[in-house]
Homo-oligomer: A and B are copies of this chain.
Amino acid sequence: MSIIDLSPVPLTRDNFSGFGDVLEVNDAERILINEGTTERFHALAKLDVADRQGVGVLSIFRATARPRPIKIAMMERHPLGSQAFFPLANNRWLIVVSAAETPAPDNLKAFRARGDQGVQYAKNIWHHPLLIIEPSQDFLVVDRAGPGDNLEEIRFDDGAYARLFLPKS
């Protein structure tokens, strides 16, 4: 059984580019609207949910913290659509993804997101379910509803896992 230690790196558009979109105002296209009272940081991500008559849906996920150290022993992906998460309270949170066809502890990447950063996982990107640092945190989630099986899960072989070390505050 292999145990790997993972340290999250700060999330940026550059280091997340292979996995989807980072939703944040920094460096976004900015349009002044509503008689100058509102800045629109435009089209930070496009939804990709139309496969097989899918539609986009808005949900709220209420996450609770896992025991520490956080053990990453499985991953999931959505073969039919993108999935976006944005925190509704400005607390840091954690992201674990894999670019491998078969995720395993030694091919994971971990990111720490600020509380004003969301992400949209591209279709079919392996990621871990929600990981938070505070005891509880709500997220607005934009993903796909429709026909077909849109969830694949994989549990690592032989009880292998990665230990996720939390960022210092």
Contact = CB atoms under 8 A, between A and B. Distances in A.
A56 B57 CA distance: 10
Say which size band chain A's interface belongs to.
35 or more
Contacts of A105: none
Contact of A57 (B39, B47, B86): B47
B43 A59 contact: yes
A93 to B, nearest CB: 12
Grouping DSSP codes into helix (H, G, I), strand (E, B) and loop, the A interface class, with mixed when no group exceeds half, is strand
Given A62-B25, A63-B38, A129-B37, A140 B57 contact: no
Q: Number of copies of this chain in the oligomer? A: 2
B64 A44 contact: no
B50 A50 contact: yes
B38 A64 contact: yes
Contacts of A58: 21, 23, 43-47, 84, 86, 118, 120, 142
A168 interface: no
A1 to B, nearest CB: 20
